[in-house]
Amino acid sequence: MSTSSQWSSRLGFILASAGSAIGLGAIWKFPFWAGANGGAAFIIPYIVFTFTIGVVLVMAEIAIGRRGRGSVMNAMRQVGGKTFAALGAFAVLTSFIILSYYSVVGGWCVSYLVEALSGNVAVESADALKARFGDLVSNGYTNIAWHLVFLTLTCGTVVLGVEKGIERLSKYLMPTLFILMIAIIIRGLTLDGSWAGVLYLFNFSWDSVTPSAILNAMGFTFFSLSLGAGILVTYGAYLPKENNIPTSSIWVAVLAIQAALLAGLMIMPAVFAFGLEPNAGPGLVFITVPMIFSHVPFGAVFAVLFYICLLVAALTSSVSLLEVVVAFMHNEWRMSRRAATFTCWVTLFFLGAVSALSFGVWSDFTIGGRVFFDFLDYVCSNFMMPIGGLAVAVLMGWKAWPVMAEELSTACAYSPAVMKTIRIAIAYLAPILVLVAIYQGVFG
Ligand code: PFF
């Protein structure tokens, strides 16, 4: 293989994994989640979790995929046997559930893109922006309709086999999104009163270091790296041997953190400068960004560009979730990829519709004090993904460490000290941190 094609294959893998990682998690969830969980008290554990257990779990998932091949269930079976195969199936369920509500937020992005295209998005009045978001989510019909549009785009991408096209597109759009975010940050920081937002985001106080903030930080680490849901196992199956797993994993983590931090800096200063509420919840990005665009020259044009980038970022993530489920149905249930995708389209439509309605007519229906959408996100991020990660850690740290060691060293031999550190991280640190965070978060 020539050097140039090796490069392109390595880049292709990093792009696909980073494409899965960077999406609505960083841009939509991180800003309001960091705000709601105490700023630095959330951000510091998030970064620490990412560079300790996050990176090694990314490595372990890729190693399982590359060794085991096929769907996540098959790969786990090949590497770990029957019990781990069942845990692989659990990861498929996690991906399925996440996609159902992810698609609702994806729908909001489509709706804002359409607004931007009609030139209506950059509005200066905070009340009008709040009302627009409120109308969108509380009106069951429109909310479900946009969810259906996004879900159809996701399923269409998989059925038509144009993932490669989307990935290639994201090679240009991801850097564009980063540049746009930096431009918005600069604009935001030059507004009067914006510094309070930076302080709000990065202010550290011990009082905010609560068990639930730590659990949420861990949950967000899993969510933002697409961990514990079979994604990287499924993608790892296509990875050539000469690809260096540790370097790719670090790249994915760095890009994911960078996206989240940029998004936080894009939103919070503007929130304070415009006198918006940092606790506006899921609507924060959708209310703040249009307001910023109303304060820049050619804002309407940039808004279109921004929402295109956001939509593609969301699609590369939703496609990765769907891939896990479709690969499983194709492999285990012998369904054609087309039939599998169609089945997902129908079932996810209904499950997602319940989440969509939980912002409107069904907002009174709560589980543990959370509306259905929030409940699913809470369970998936804080429990199901970490449990999937736990399974991966036990498998690769204990049962199949030799496989892990071999897979990590296919492209480059690491010193015994490096390998030992990775082993300690995967075999001890990851399981302990996950279990303690879950225990404390629930009973603490
Ligand atoms: N990491 C994606 C994001 O932050 O938007 C969301 C996601 C994708 C979560 C895949 C989980 C997953 F398995």
Residue-wise pLDDT tens digits, 326-378: 999 999 999 999 999 999 999 999 999 999 999 999 999 999 999 999 999 99
**Read out DSSP for 191-253?**
STTTHHHHHHHH---GGG--HHHHHHHHHHHHHHHT-SSSHHHHHHTT--TTS-HHHHHHHHH
Q: Which of 317, 319, 378, 380 to mutate to test ligand 1, by most ligand atoms within 8 A of the CB atom?
A: 317
Sign for the CA dihedral angle at 340, 345, 349, 350 comes to: negative
pLDDT score for 428? 97
Residue found by looking up tokens 């409120």 in the block: 134
- What does the pLDDT average to over 103-123? 92
Q: Does 260 sit in the ligand 1 pocket, CB within 6 Å?
A: no
Task: Name the more confident of 56 and 442.
Answer: 56
Per-residue model confidence as pLDDT tens digits over 399-419 = 999 999 999 999 888 999 999
| Mean pLDDT, all residues of the chain | 92
What pLDDT, on the 0 to 100 scale, is given for residue 5?
32
Q: How confident is the model over 298-309, as pLDDT tens digits?
A: 888 989 999 999
Closest residue CA from atom 7 of ligand 1: 226
Tell me, what's the pLDDT at 242? 85
> Does the beta carbon of 319 lie inside 6 Å of ligand 1?
no
In 3D space, the residue among 235, 113, 105, 98 whose CA is nearest the CA of residue 173 turns out to be: 113
Query: Is 7's pLDDT higher than 60?
Result: no
258-299 pLDDT, tens digit per residue, is: 999 999 999 999 999 999 888 888 999 999 999 988 888 888
Report which ligand 1 atom has the smallest distance to the Cα of 313: 5
Confirm or reject: Cβ of 95 under 6 Å from ligand 1: yes
HEC string of 314-367 equals HHHHHHHHHHHHHHHHHHHCCCCHHHHHHHHHHHHHHHHHHHHHCCCCCCCCEE
The dihedral of CA 273, 275, 281, 284: what is its sign? negative
Could you tell me which residues are beta bridge partners of residue 371? 366
Region 32-52 average pLDDT: 93
DSSP states of 101-165: HHHHHHHHHHHHHHHHHTT------HHHHHHHHHHHHH-HHHHHHHHHHHHHHHHHHHHTT-HHH
CB 119 within 8 A of CB 300: yes
* Tokens standing for residue 305: 């560009």
First to last CA, the chain: 54
Distances from the Cα of 107 to the Cα of 140, 239, 352, 371, angstroms: 12, 31, 11, 18
Higher pLDDT, 124 or 56: 56
Question: Is the Cβ atom of 21 under 6 angstroms away from ligand 1?
Answer: yes
Q: Is 20 in the pocket of ligand 1 (CB under 6 A)?
A: yes
- Centre of ligand 1 from the C-alpha of residue 240, in Å: 23
Identify the pLDDT of residue 9.
Answer: 61
Atom 2 of ligand 1: nearest residue by CA position:
21
pLDDT in tens, 116-170: 999 888 778 889 999 999 999 999 999 999 999 999 999 999 988 777 777 777 7
Residue tagged 């090679």 (tokens)? 171
Q: Are 60 and 393 in contact (CB under 8 A)?
A: yes
What pLDDT does residue 435 have? 95
pLDDT of 107 > 60? The answer is yes
Boundaries of every domain in the chain = 10-443
**Can you name the residues that pair with 366 across neighbouring β-strands?**
371
| Statement: residue 35 has pLDDT above 90 | no
408 half-sphere exposure, CB direction, 13 A CA radius: 29
CA proximity to 252, closest of 7, 26, 424, 6: 26
- pLDDT for the residue numbered 1: 29
Closest Cα to atom 10 of ligand 1: 226
CATH of domain 10-443: 1.20.1740.10
Give 255 Cα–ligand 1 centroid separation in angstroms. Answer: 13
pLDDT, tens digit, for every residue of 372-400? 999 999 999 999 999 999 999 999 999 99
